[in-house]
Structure 1
Amino acid sequence: MMGKLGVVIVAAGRGSRMRTAESKQYLQLGQKPILVHTLQLFQNIHEVDEIILVVGEADVDRCRGYVQSYALTKVTSVQAGGAERQDSVKKGIDALEAGTEWVLVHDGVRPFAATEHVIACYRKAQETDAAVLAVPVKDTIKIVNEAKQIQSTPDRRSLWAIQTPQAFRLSVLREAHERAEAEAFIGTDDSMLVERLGITVQVVEGDYYNIKITTREDLPWAAWILEHVRGER
């Protein structure tokens, strides 16, 4: 029998690119805040045993209220985040219950990950210790210098846009974070920290609906996805 699966949902950022007074994760999408949609996604996945939510210190009480109001029974802890996203993830994994062997790390503003893709990512991590959802890049990508001059054009066939969740054996992710902390290294995602251990991270193909709601332009697209693709939770 596999060990327990925990989920760390990180939603501590302020989201300055959204240019709204309210942080993006608390904006309404349909009838609920974006963050609640994300939490309900994992609440409804049978394989998930526990959810740790990491938010800004000022939002802890509000989010504990969400846990009660929306009957999010798998949320066992709401933690105040750290200075960097990486610090917030570390706080989340440290809060997981004893006996947890696997962990999914997910962005609080990605409410549309397909359940079947989440499970596929988790299953692949059980085989390889580390897996991430991703999609092939559709646009041509250019390497550009500080003067905004094109330096090179990578082969698009080798480029993938990395999403969340990212799935890991908990002991591996914990070691990756501890090494990064000891070496004062800040990575762009958890996969990058695990890669530094010399561990190969497997890509699992997701879909283009699993958007990260980051700017105002994302909001009408998110509303369309909610209505026409993923459905109200």
Structure 2
Amino acid sequence: MVFEKFMKKYAIIVAGGSGTRMGGSISKQYLEIGGKPVLMHTLEVFFNSDSSINLILVIPESDFELWYKLCSAHEFSIPHQLVKGGSSRFQSVKNGLLHILDEDGLVAIHDGVRPFVKPEVIHESFKVAAQEGSAIAVVSLKDSIRRVGEDSKSVFQERQFFRLVQTPQTFQIRKIKKAFKTEESPKFTDDATVYEHQGWQVSLITGNPENIKITTPEDMNYAEFLIGKNP
């Protein structure tokens, strides 16, 4: 039996987006909520949940100077390693994995613009990944759904058979490193699909609904609400 508490833990925080849907000049991961950039909240929740987690932040190399200035301005001192992002999310995650020298242990891969993941979800992801090889945070659907075909006709789908996928997506390091040695494909929509490409079944855990991916101005408004609700 694998004992998760004795395994070395990493978290790759990926934030390579340009933030074009925000309509502003600064990428969404550097916008402030609750008085500091989104990314700092995300790093904090991982650090506060378990300070032994080795944090790796993947951002565009062109943003390094901006990030150093933000850290100085906000007196942000949580230890983390800065890694340059790639031309796609797949390549950015791969770059982060290359900076993990350990073959054993666990790694959580998390969107930098999801600052509201609950500590208990992070803990559960490491626990389940240690036992099963992977742990993917998901939430149930609340709305009815329909599948639309190429002919524009729609078909009702039973929502209880579907889940919305979040991050963290946590894996045993040896397995996810092997998975990312494959060639990038458009069908790799997240890290779980890369893992599945090896023929491995992913294990699902319950995420938290507040763990939104901040993408639009409306998301920023909701984020400010959540910050105010849980200061």
- Does TM, scored on the shorter chain, surpass 0.5? yes
Q: Does residue 214 of structure 2 align to residue 213 of structure 1? A: yes
**What letter matches 1:214 in structure 2?**
T
Q: Does 1:61 align with 2:72?
A: no
Match of 1:167 in 2: 170
Q: Which residue of 2 aligns with 1:137?
A: 141
1:186-231 deviation digits (Å, cap 9, x = unpaired)? 4100000111111111111122111111111111111111111xx3
Q: CA deviation at 1:47?
A: 5.8
Shift of 1:67: 5.0
2:73 matched to 1:72?
no
Q: Could you say what secondary structure the match of 2:116 adopts?
A: coil
TM-score under structure 2 length normalisation: 0.91
- In 2: Cα distance, 1:38 partner to 1:193 partner: 24
Look up the equivalent residue of 1:152 and give its one-letter code: V
Q: TM-score by structure 1 length?
A: 0.90
Identity of aligned residues (%): 33
Q: Which residue of 2 aligns with 1:190?
A: 191
8 A contact 1:5–1:49 mirrored in 2 = yes
* In structure 2, distance between residues paired with 1:64 and 1:101: 29
How far, CA to CA, are the matches of 1:165 and 1:219 in structure 2?
Answer: 20
Whichever residue aligns with residue 212 of structure 2, its letter is I
Q: Secondary structure at the match of 1:142?
A: strand
Letter in 2 for 1:222: A
Structure-2 change in CA distance of 1:21 and 1:67 (3 Å): closer
Asked whether the equivalents of residues 116 and 212 of structure 2 are also in contact (C-alpha less than 8 Å), the reply is yes
Q: Deviations over 1:135-172 (max 9, x none)?
A: 0011122222456x233222100110000000000111
Equivalent pairs, count: 224
Amino acid at match of 1:174: K
1:98 aligns with 2:99: no
SS in 2 for 1:217: helix
Whole-angstrom CA distance in 1 between matches of 2:25 and 2:69 = 20
C-alpha spacing 1:110/1:126, structure 2 compared with 1 (3 Å): same
Partner of 2:158: 155
Matched, 1:27 2:31: yes
* Structure 1 residues 100 and 50: CA distance shift in structure 2, 3 A: farther
- Would you say 1:5 and 2:6 are equivalent positions? no
The answer to whether the 8 Å contact 1:5/1:50 transfers is yes
Distance in 1 separating the partners of 2:147 and 2:52: 39
Q: How far has the Cα of 1:174 moved from its partner? A: 0.7
Residue segments in structure 1 that go unaligned for 5+ positions in a row: none
Q: Which residue of structure 2 aligns with residue 107 of structure 1?
A: 111
Q: CA RMSD in A?
A: 1.7
Aligned equivalents of 1:150, 1:219: Cα separation in 2: 34
Amino acid of the residue matched to residue 175 of structure 2? V
Tell me the CA shift for residue 100 of structure 1: 5.3
For residue 201 of structure 1, what is the aligned residue in structure 2? 202
1:52 aligns with 2:56: yes
Displacement over 6 Å in runs of 4+: none
